[in-house]
Chain A
Amino acid sequence: MSKPKLALYWASSCGGCEIAVLGLHEKILDVAEAFDIVFWPCVMDFKYEDVEAMEDGEIDVCLFNGAIRNDENAHLAHLLRRKSKVMVAFGSCAFGGSMPGLANFNDREQMFNYIYHDSPSTDNPDGIVPQQRTDMPEGELVLPNFWNTVKTLAQVVPVDYYLPGCPPEASSIETAVTAIVSGELPPPGSVIGPDITVCDECPREKHEKKISRFYRPQEIIPDPDTCLLEQGLFCAGIATRSGCGARCPQVGVGCRGCYGPNEGVYDHGAKIMTGIASVLDADTPEEVEAILDTLPDPAGYFYRFHMPDSLLRRTARTNGKKLLASEQVAASEL
């Protein structure tokens, strides 16, 4: 019998997910043993035409990492979806939008202005901004259209399984791969991972909480045995699915929330926010304000991994601007 076919793809993400797969170390050989890898542009030389040439449903499993923020990401998502029997949103970007998804606090115009003009480290005296189409002597160059709103994989194509993590822990990948190989898969739509929180796995002692200010990690040396949040260190472990073994809090670093919301939670950021807001040691709006002033960029902290799939998905577009033409194209793609 021929081996099941595996595809891996990297859309809008940092590449950490690819490294995580390689981080399986010698187990990667088992993967290579078990699967016939038919597409993995990061590691081997494949072309999009190779995928287009395949039969629909020919790929057994596609591990798709990265958010969807431009036409190329979306094109590949649709293509691979068509060609794959099982589509896995691999890692936090594909799952919830993650870091790229924080762009949804702005729109494209604002971002381009900052990156190509205003950022303190930008040196662009000629004000050059990338154009979608550029005429060169060799012919016209075309860049994929950049969207106003970052989306998750599931907001673009149907997804069968989610594997959270930034990046997913080797053990999580192993669990997923083993499940796929053995065929013992949870019901479609499931998140592969335990349904308890990081907080549940964290050995630190928890007490009744009252936070009177937040500290940045460099500001204090936390007590080794007590809950970090109680000590004023931001920790999303209270609202975040485990699967990592509470690795960060165990070494004194607050959970960033990369495994995403707990089972049944629709809005990760809102849950972190209400949890933390509940224990602020404040009686007046002014006191709340003063405490939150010690937490730089609270929205960024709360929604670090799940802005695009939050209930609001993005902030309102500036000046009530209508959908841009390009945005309409993107919308019509859905």
Chain B
Amino acid sequence: MSENEKRVGVYVCHCGHNIAGTVDVEHVAEWAYNLPNVIISRDNKFMCASTGQEQIEEDVKEFNLTHVVVASCSPHMHEKTFRNAVERSGLNPYLFEMANIREHASWVHPDDQDGATSKAKALVSAAVHRVLHHEELTPMQVEIRPEVLIVGGGVAGIQAALEVAEAGHHVYLVEREPSIGGHMAQLDKTFPTLDCSACILTPKMFDAGSHPNITLLTYAEVEQVDGYVGNFTVRVRKKAKMVHEDLCTGCGTCWEKCPKKVIDTVFESGLGYRKAIYRPFPQAVPKYPVIDVETCIYYDTGKCRACEKFCPTDAIDFEMQDEIVNLEVGNIIVATGYDLFDPRRIPQYGYGRHENVFTSMEFERLVNAAGPSDGRVVLRDGETTPQSVAIIHCVGSRDKNYNGHCSAICCMYSLKFAHLVKERTEAEVYNFYIDMRTIAKGYEEFYDRVLEEGAHFIRGKVSEITDATHASEEEGKLVVVAEDTLIGKQRRVPVDMVILAVAMEPRADAEEVAHRFGIGCGDTGFFTERHPKLDPVATVTEGVYIAGACQGPKDIPDAVAQGSAAAARVLSVISQREVALEPVRATIDEEHCSGCRICNTMCPYHAIDFIEADSVSRVNPALCKGCGTCVAACPSQVISGAHFTFDQLIAEIDGIMVDVNIDEPLVAAEMV
């Protein structure tokens, strides 16, 4: 198509008051009419509404438009909407460009109407100049393998696994620990209904363990992921369990006979013991034990083998090696959950120094009927029932020094703890909080109930927990020092037991895991969803979804909902059989590639291979996400990024440089 055959339609959106409240949209539309090749230029209240979209379709037909520009919100929001409208009108959807005059103009310059209007004009001009260089692009179709990999067997991962398996597709559920269950398996009661956590989780764990469509890979971790949506190859390392699962019956003789007691820092949060050969908890799925080679006497001294001696089915194998399993899957759900904040980082709270300061998870284990104290609320001596208990909220949350974020669940589990203490002891309970956040269904009601039960609430951040006493009633107690901001006074509350409501944090290895799966971590370190509102379980990598607390702090209902949501997304992809991949990607002109290999290490998606035989680099189109890193890096400019070509970018810059104050805009002087 020659330059003067190109016919551009420009649509300037009011977005209600969002844009029109600041930017003079009518003027922008009028002005844009004078830009090169513009045939029609309109403003419209809501371009994304059906009337706006239909306007584009009608105009393309009536005015024989060849290119379309919409000036509205961020392309994240509606690029797809308008591309579809353009496609419906018979044009290739890539002959469209969006100018963001909301986030980039009206919203950021609310106090400068003239400035915002000028900026909107420049952005529209940039889009018009750019769109004239757009080329037709066609998505690539790839087949989808129906198998699904789910990483992390917490409640979110289990939920997702069951949904996919029930729909008839095979699931590989990879769990790092010897059993699935995650944090929920450690809990006693669950807020706000106080169902017993084990009672509602165990059946799900059992189903996941016995479902014909689910292969459990426990004590295992994903080491490498290659490929792209529909066709991932995944390398999983199954750590040697030293126990043959096909022979083991889970009878328990081995751990009864094992002479080595180890403090269980994982499941029992350090409050209880396990053996060197162990099953983390009675309801574990699978039910088979593993030998912890770090603590096993045999691996240390070469002697013992008691478990082997007593095993009735000869299931113990000290020579067992790690096993590598290669899986082929079409989609991946990452549900690796969270870690808890280590309160030793706040030394003034005395955790680790004062023995009766507990973490919330320790307390969960304490009140758990199957836990180390059989559910009795007692001090660390294992005997004394506390007369008074303080629960400190926001430990490591909402604090610039540690985590800026709210952990979302602590208010609720603190209320649950207050209730449980009241239920099981005569103790007074003091909740030290900054703000109470009880925002979901039934939560405020639960708060009321705990208030009625007589728990005390003190609004103020605790500055210190100390055993330095000032008065006789503080003797032998832990003193919680805080400013009560409601009465404006410093308070010292002596108690027997302190529970720290520690923050939910991203897994310590979240960044590494994110890198492995080609997803991102946000400021807080939790995995980043594709869109915080409209696409909460998808990620930037197609075919990789996230669910549960790995995406951000959340309670069980939300984690389960995300597990189901991720499964639904995956099932929808599977049922399409094929997916269309964005055609915005890089290609290397192999004839001119020098094979310098600068680009080889640059690609965040491992999409570039070096072809030794031809001494050139090559982009795997299905892996490429069109990020442009290699395009910029290529020193001889033989990598071109579709939809982000040099000409397009230079045209865009030329366009933005026009003098927006003259009626008939001219391009800034061409280079001599």
A residues lining the B interface (CB < 8 Å): 154-156, 195-197, 199-200, 206-210, 227, 229, 237-239, 261-266, 271-272, 274-276, 278-279, 334
Alpha-carbon gap, A195 to B633, bound state (A): 19
* Closest beta carbon of chain B to A331's beta carbon, Å: 11
A264 in complex: contacting residue of B596, B635, B637, B672, CB < 8 Å: B637
The residues of A that contact B636 with a CB separation of less than 8 Å are 197, 199, 238-239, 262, 265, 271
The residues of A that contact B629 with a CB separation of less than 8 Å are 278
* Closest beta carbon of chain A to B365's beta carbon, Å: 39
Which of A155, A209, A229, A275 counts the most B-chain CB atoms under 10 A from its CB?
A: A275
B653 to chain A: closest residue by CB: A311
For the complex of A and B, list the 10 residue pairs with the smallest distance between their C-beta atoms, beginning with the closest. A275-B635, A239-B635, A200-B594, A278-B633, A199-B594, A238-B635, A262-B636, A238-B596, A197-B594, A199-B596
The residues of B that contact A208 with a CB separation of less than 8 Å are 597, 600-601, 610
B635 to chain A: closest residue by CB: A275
The residues of A that contact B595 with a CB separation of less than 8 Å are 199-200, 206
Alpha-carbon gap, A207 to B617, bound state (A): 11
Known: A196-B594, A238-B596. 4 other contacts (CB 8 A): A195-B592, A209-B597, A264-B646, A275-B598
Whether A154 contacts B594 by the Cβ 8 Å rule is no
* Closest beta carbon of chain B to A272's beta carbon, Å: 6
Alpha-carbon gap, A208 to B603, bound state (A): 12
B597 in complex: contacting residue of A207, A261, A262, CB < 8 Å: A207
Whether A206 contacts B637 by the Cβ 8 Å rule is no
What secondary structure prevails in chain B residues at the interface with A? Answer: loop
The residues of B that contact A278 with a CB separation of less than 8 Å are 598-599, 601-602, 629, 632-633
Chain B, interface residues (CB within 8 Å), range: 20 to 34
Alpha-carbon gap, A274 to B646, bound state (A): 15
* Closest beta carbon of chain B to A167's beta carbon, Å: 23
Q: List 28 A-B contacts (CB under 8 A).
A: A156-B672, A196-B594, A197-B592, A197-B635, A199-B594, A200-B595, A209-B597, A210-B601, A229-B596, A237-B596, A238-B598, A261-B637, A262-B592, A262-B635, A262-B636, A264-B637, A266-B650, A271-B634, A271-B636, A274-B632, A274-B635, A275-B596, A275-B635, A278-B598, A278-B601, A278-B602, A278-B633, A279-B598
A151 to chain B: closest residue by CB: B672
* Closest beta carbon of chain B to A5's beta carbon, Å: 27
The residues of B that contact A261 with a CB separation of less than 8 Å are 637
Contact A209 to B598, CB < 8 A, known contacts A274-B632, A278-B633: yes
B residues lining the A interface (CB < 8 Å): 592-602, 610, 629, 632-638, 646, 650, 672
* Closest beta carbon of chain B to A293's beta carbon, Å: 21
* Closest beta carbon of chain B to A298's beta carbon, Å: 15
B595 to chain A: closest residue by CB: A206
Alpha-carbon gap, A22 to B543, bound state (A): 65
A206 in complex: contacting residue of B597, B632, B635, CB < 8 Å: B597
Whether B600 contacts A154 by the Cβ 8 Å rule is no
A274 in complex: contacting residue of B633, B638, B650, CB < 8 Å: B633
B616 to chain A: closest residue by CB: A200
The residues of A that contact B650 with a CB separation of less than 8 Å are 266
The residues of A that contact B635 with a CB separation of less than 8 Å are 197, 199, 238-239, 262, 271-272, 274-276
Alpha-carbon gap, A210 to B597, bound state (A): 10
Whether B672 contacts A275 by the Cβ 8 Å rule is no
* Closest beta carbon of chain A to B220's beta carbon, Å: 30
The residues of B that contact A206 with a CB separation of less than 8 Å are 595-597
* Closest beta carbon of chain A to B206's beta carbon, Å: 45
Whether A275 contacts B634 by the Cβ 8 Å rule is yes
The residues of A that contact B610 with a CB separation of less than 8 Å are 208
Alpha-carbon gap, A199 to B598, bound state (A): 11
Whether B592 contacts A196 by the Cβ 8 Å rule is yes
Alpha-carbon gap, A155 to B670, bound state (A): 11
Alpha-carbon gap, A262 to B636, bound state (A): 6
The residues of A that contact B638 with a CB separation of less than 8 Å are 262
